[in-house]
């Protein structure tokens, strides 16, 4: 499978280009003077740079990352769309999307670690070492940040709301 040929190449290129509107989304948040968390802008900037590098070097791991990201983002942006048209899906609590994102980061980190080990043992997995290191650092930092976000939003925040109701 090639990054640049046929249906696979088309979907990988569309994926790379999809990172630009995601970055523009960050601009709209700032221009509307809404709060912008570190996770949001850091994720959008670094993933754009990493995707471009992965595409330019035809990192084999990139195909896994593209498939995972497409899957999670289809659900997430579908949810955001429903929220935007005031049709909050009761069947899809936001915690499910966050768990999917954390799972994506866990798999991405594991894939980078496995690739790094394979490369250090002299194996070949059609990926450059600098891409594996960058991907591991990126996915590892995302994993930490998404877990931190989930704890604050879904574990600590409900306790604070309950305490306010009692007061």
Which of 43, 44, 53, 73 does the annotation list as catalytic?
Answer: 43
Nearest alpha carbon to residue 151 among 83, 99, 80, 73: 99
Degrees to nearest 5, angle at CA 150 with 75 and 134: 80
Predicted confidence (pLDDT) per residue in 109-167, tens digit? 999 999 999 999 998 888 999 999 999 999 999 999 999 999 999 999 877 665 555 55
Tokens standing for residue 6: 């046929």
pLDDT recorded at residue 164: 59
Number of C-beta neighbours around residue 81 at 10 A: 10
Q: What is the pTM of this model?
A: 0.87
User: Comparing 4 with 121, which gets the higher pLDDT?
Assistant: 121
Per-residue pLDDT band at 24 (split at 50, 70, 90) = confident
In total, the chain counts a number of residues equal to: 167
Residue 43 among the catalytic residues: yes
DSSP conformation class of 37: -
CA 38 to each of CA 42, 75, 138, 145: distance values in angstroms, whole numbers, following the listed order: 6, 22, 14, 9
pLDDT score at 53: 93
């Amino acid at each position: 499978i090639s990054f640049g040929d046929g249906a696979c190449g088309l979907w990988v290129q569309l994926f790379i280009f999809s990172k630009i509107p995601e970055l523009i989304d960050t601009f709209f948040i700032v221009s509307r003077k809404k709060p912008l968390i570190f996770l949001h802008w850091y994720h959008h900037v670094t993933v754009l740079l990493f995707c471009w590098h992965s595409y330019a070097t035809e990192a084999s791991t990139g195909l896994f990352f593209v498939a995972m990201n497409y899957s999670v983002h289809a659900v997430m942006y579908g949810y955001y769309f429903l929220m935007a048209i005031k049709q909050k899906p009761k069947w899809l609590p936001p915690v499910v999307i966050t768990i999917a994102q954390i799972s994506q980061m866990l798999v991405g980190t594991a894939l980078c670690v496995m690739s790094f080990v394979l490369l250090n043992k002299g194996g070949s997995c059609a990926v450059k070492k600098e891409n594996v290191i960058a991907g591991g650092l990126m996915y590892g930092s995302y994993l930490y940040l998404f877990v931190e976000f989930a704890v604050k939003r879904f574990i600590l925040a409900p306790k604070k709301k309950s305490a306010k109701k009692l007061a």
